[in-house]
Amino acid sequence: MALLDSDVWGKKFFSDGWRDASAEQPVVEPATGEQLATAGLATTEDVRRASARAAEAQRDWAAASPQRRAAVLRRAGELLAEHSAEIEEWLVREAGSVRAKAAFEARLAVSECFECAGLPTHPQGEVLTSEDARWSFSRRRPAGVVSVIAPFNFPLVLGLRSVAPALALGNAVLLKPDPRTAVSGGVVIARVFEEAGLPDGVLHLLPGDGPVGRAVVEAPEVRVVSFTGSTPVGRAIGEQAGRLLKRAHLELGGNNALVVLPGADVRKAASAGAFGSYLHQGQICMTTGRHIVHESLLEEYTAALAAKAAALPVGDPAREDVALGPLIDRRQLERVHGIVTDSVAAGATLAAGGEIVGAGYRATVLSGLTTDMPAWREEIFGPVAPVIGFSTPEEAARIVNDCEYGLSVGILGDVGTAMKLADRIDSGKVHINEQTVSDEPNAPFGGVKASGTGSRFGGAAANVEAFTETQWLTVRPDIADYPF
């Protein structure tokens, strides 16, 4: 039987096995509007029951040997690899991924599980000095129940990068994927860990809308919330978690800058810029949203980028060989087009694109902008590349930092100049001679300012910090003497 046979999960949610849902939602292909299946939705009452069960199951899972937890993570990675073709097809049809992006996401998911399989045996404490005649330690213990709220754009990886380390470190998980990608961002993960031998009750799949999202934050058993999504929703979750004295790890939006220094190879720079802006239709938090180009190269770079954009076909990735697939839904498509048309009306020049093509949007280049135009100020989350010039490194740094976000920056050109510029930039990530979209399971990932609460994803140190609590432990050879 296929891993994702809808007879198993259709019209159901996962909580101690697959349960019939009292609410349903069609799984829709954004490129065509075709219904692919029917997903079950959880209710707030389902969340209440799941969180209580998760707290119960977590105690036994935390007590399992590190080798047992590592084996489950390794097997999950193997299953993802074995069923990669099936998973990729869902990423193409449900999430609108072009095939190369779907294949990359599936491979990254495998790597995530294998990387996290090392966490159970990673050092999780320190030996401390003490003034008294005792041994003193700090040790990391599982946080307990973790809620993971994941987005639609890289649904598998952006859910798994919190689910996998949380499970590896002995936590139970409530997973709420975006309902628009309930299969590739939820069912895949639940089925993989079910088949990998994860004990019942440790992982719960709870697709749903806003009330379900609030419920997985508010559930009293939940101690940590890991959210990836928009900045406005992240602020609300952060406020909600703060009021309840829970930790919230927030990976939010970005309006990421690519700086092209004088003397850079324009052909290669335009290729990097096109990849950064147009991969997955620009629906990535790390997308290159601002191209900041030295005035000596501005005209040539803009023309080269526009030529790249004009050559990228748009269409249905399940049935055509295209570079850009559909945007996730009509609302987002119209929002992107509105930002482009508003900016052109304000004086920007449309150098390429600017057209709706079925359910997709043609790769777009805007020039002649000012920094107060919506295409420059806003996170577009579409295939739009705004270009502006600069004259000095100081001006480039000022333009980069004049933004509410601080997630990812790419700098192309002379390495020495780029290194000095990097020291002036407020950003969670800086990539020299690379564009802005980059992610590896062993590397810390996170942003500053409105892009989130720092690097709480990726790498052993960040994962241990995110999904465990620190406990101080002391041991004496005998009961101490006290003055009372």
Tens of pLDDT, residue by residue over 169-182, are 999 999 999 999 99
Q: Quick one: pLDDT at residue 370?
A: 96
Per-residue pLDDT band at 456 (split at 50, 70, 90): confident
Tokens of 28: 């829709």
Backbone φ, ψ for residue 367 (5° rounding): -125, 175
Cα distances (Å, whole numbers) of residue 18 to 2, 58, 116, 204, 234: 16, 19, 26, 10, 29
Which residues carry out catalysis?
A: 251, 285
Question: Per residue in 372-401, pLDDT tens?
Answer: 999 999 999 999 999 999 999 999 999 999
Question: Do residues 291 and 303 both lie within one domain?
Answer: yes
Cα distances (Å, whole numbers) of residue 63 to 69, 168, 169, 220, 314: 10, 12, 11, 22, 51
Q: Quick one: pLDDT at residue 1?
A: 64
Q: Is residue 199 part of a domain?
A: yes
- The C-alpha atoms of residue 164 and residue 175 are separated, in whole angstroms, by 11
Residue 303: give its domain's CATH number. Answer: 3.40.309.10
Q: Is residue 65 part of a domain?
A: yes
Q: Is residue 156 part of a domain?
A: yes
**Mean pLDDT in the chain?**
97
Domain count for the chain: 2
Question: Do residues 246 and 123 both lie within one domain?
Answer: yes
Amino acid identity of 268? K
Whole-prediction pTM: 0.96
Question: Do residues 237 and 280 both lie within one domain?
Answer: no
Q: Is residue 40 part of a domain?
A: yes
- The C-alpha atoms of residue 89 and residue 158 are separated, in whole angstroms, by 18
Question: Do residues 462 and 336 both lie within one domain?
Answer: no
Question: Per residue in 179-225, pLDDT tens?
Answer: 999 999 999 999 999 999 999 999 999 999 999 999 999 999 999 99
Question: Do residues 399 and 267 both lie within one domain?
Answer: yes
- Strand, coil or helix: 88: helix
- The C-alpha atoms of residue 481 and residue 483 are separated, in whole angstroms, by 7
- On whether the CB atoms of residues 262 and 410 are closer than 8 A, the answer is no
Q: Is residue 296 part of a domain?
A: yes
Burial class (CB in 10 A: 0-12, 13-18, 19+), 6: middle
Question: Per residue in 38-92, pLDDT tens?
Answer: 999 999 999 999 999 999 999 999 999 999 999 999 999 999 999 999 999 999 9
Q: Please list the helix, strand and coil fractions of the chain in percent, rounded to the nearest 5, in that order.
A: 40, 25, 35
Question: Do residues 308 and 370 both lie within one domain?
Answer: yes
Domain that holds residue 311: 256-432
- On whether the CB atoms of residues 162 and 189 are closer than 8 A, the answer is no
